[in-house]
Amino acid sequence: MVVMLTKYYRALNSDVLLLNEIGLDPGIDHCSAISLLQRLRSENKRVVSFTSFCGGVPAPESAEGVPLGYKFSWSPRGVLSAALNGSRFKLGGKVLAAN
């Protein structure tokens, strides 16, 4: 927590936005990235970097038969099935549900 707060205050003082993964399928950081970048550009703000980490490059001996030698760190099937789940969230102090 202290590390994140330190990064938050450094970013705030530098007029930099940090958007970290918050663990929802699909990741909210990925879903909102395009709209966020478009909004920042429309405000004439310059995006100097956008980095997203997901998956990884497996060891060569583990990559045989894997297209592009790449493995996801999450299950695409899990993401698609999660899209069918309902959710609850708080907005304006009220608990709402989306099914």
Catalytic residue set: 25
- CA 76, 80, 88, 90 dihedral sign is positive
Q: Which residues pair with 87 in a beta bridge?
A: 98
For residues 92 and 64, what is the distance between their CA atoms, to the nearest angstrom? 51
